[in-house]
Structure 1
Amino acid sequence: MKKFLFSTIAVACSFVAFAQQGNLSNSTKPIHAEEPPVDGYFVQTDIENRKVIPYATIRQTDVAYKKRVWREIDLREKMNKSFSSPKSRLIDIIIQAIMKGELTAYDPTPTENDPNGDSFKNVLPSDQVLARFGADSVLVEEFNENNEVISSHYEARGFSGENVIKFRIKEDWIFDKQRSVFEPRIVGIAPLITPQIPGMGSVAGITPAGGAAAVDPFDPFAVQPTQQPAGAQNNVAPPVIDQGFNPQVDPTPAFWIYFPEARHIFVNKEVVNRNNDATGLSYDDVFVKRMFASYIVKESNPEDLRIKDYIADGVGRLYESERIKKALMDYEQDLWSY
Structure 2
Amino acid sequence: MKKNSIQIFVWIVAVTLLMFESNAAVAQAKKRTVQKNTTAPAQQPANNAANPYLQNNNTNTNSNNPYLSSGNNANTPVANSNANTNATKPQTGIGCREYVNMPSAEGGLFDTVKVSLRPDDPTRNYEMVRDKTPLAYDFIREDDAVFKERVWSEIDIREKMNQVFGYASNEDNGNQRLISIIVQAVMNGDVTAFDASDDRFTTPLNKADFMKTFGGGIDTVQRKDIDGQPTGICEIRPRQIVADSIYKFRIKEDYIFDKEASRLVRRIIGIAPMMKRYLSDGTTVGDDLYPLFWVYYPDIRATFAKVQVYNPKNNGARMSWDDLFESHMYSSYIVKTTMDNFKNQYFKDYIKDPLFRLLAGEKIKEKIFNYEQDLWAY
TM-score of the superposed pair, with normalisation by structure 1: 0.70
Q: Which residue of 1 is the match for residue 242 of structure 2?
A: 160
How far apart, in 2, do the equivalents of 1:44 and 1:316 lie? 48
Q: Which residue of 2 is the match for residue 270 of structure 1?
A: 308
Aligned to 2:121, which of 16, 30, 40?
40
Compared with structure 1, are the counterparts of its residues 200 and 124 closer, same or farther at alpha carbon in structure 2 (3 Å cutoff)?
A: closer
Provide the secondary structure at the position in 2 that maps to 1:129. Answer: helix
Give 1:61-100 correspondences, 5 Å limit.
61-87=143-169, 88-100=176-188
Compared with structure 1, are the counterparts of its residues 67 and 201 closer, same or farther at alpha carbon in structure 2 (3 Å cutoff)?
A: closer
Q: Which residue of 2 is the match for residue 184 of structure 1?
A: 266
How far apart, in 1, do the equivalents of 2:148 and 2:320 lie? 28
Compared with structure 1, are the counterparts of its residues 143 and 197 closer, same or farther at alpha carbon in structure 2 (3 Å cutoff)?
A: closer
* Deviation for aligned residue 1:184: 1.0
How far apart, in 2, do the equivalents of 1:192 and 1:146 lie? 39
How far apart, in 1, do the equivalents of 2:235 and 2:118 lie? 40
How far apart, in 2, do the equivalents of 1:61 and 1:177 lie? 9
Greater relative contact order, per chain length (Cα 8 Å cut-off, separation 6+): 1
Q: Which residue of 1 is the match for residue 192 of structure 2?
A: 104
Aligned to 1:136, which of 189, 195, 217?
217
Aligned to 1:121, which of 186, 202, 219?
202
For structure 1, the residue ranges without an aligned partner over 5 or more in a row are 1-34, 110-116, 203-246
How far apart, in 2, do the equivalents of 1:68 and 1:135 lie? 33
Compared with structure 1, are the counterparts of its residues 334 and 154 closer, same or farther at alpha carbon in structure 2 (3 Å cutoff)?
A: same
Provide the secondary structure at the position in 2 that maps to 1:249. Answer: strand
Compute the RMSD of aligned alpha carbons: 2.3
TM-score of the superposed pair, with normalisation by structure 2: 0.62
Q: Residue 308 of structure 1 aligns to which amino acid in structure 2? A: K
For structure 2, the residue ranges without an aligned partner over 5 or more in a row are 1-115, 170-175
How far apart, in 1, do the equivalents of 2:279 and 2:157 lie? 24
Deviations along 1:258-313, whole A, 9 cap, x unmatched? 00001010000010011110123010000001000000000012210111122111
Compared with structure 1, are the counterparts of its residues 37 and 155 closer, same or farther at alpha carbon in structure 2 (3 Å cutoff)?
A: closer
How far apart, in 1, do the equivalents of 2:223 and 2:140 lie? 61
Q: Which residue of 2 is the match for residue 324 of structure 1?
A: 364
Compared with structure 1, are the counterparts of its residues 199 and 313 closer, same or farther at alpha carbon in structure 2 (3 Å cutoff)?
A: farther
Q: Residue 160 of structure 1 aligns to which amino acid in structure 2? A: V
Which is worse superposed, 69-78 or 274-283?
274-283
Q: Which residue of 1 is the match for residue 318 of structure 2?
A: 280
Provide the secondary structure at the position in 2 that maps to 1:133. Answer: coil
Q: Which residue of 2 is the match for residue 315 of structure 1?
A: 355
Q: Is the 8 A contact 2:151 2:337 kept in 1?
A: yes
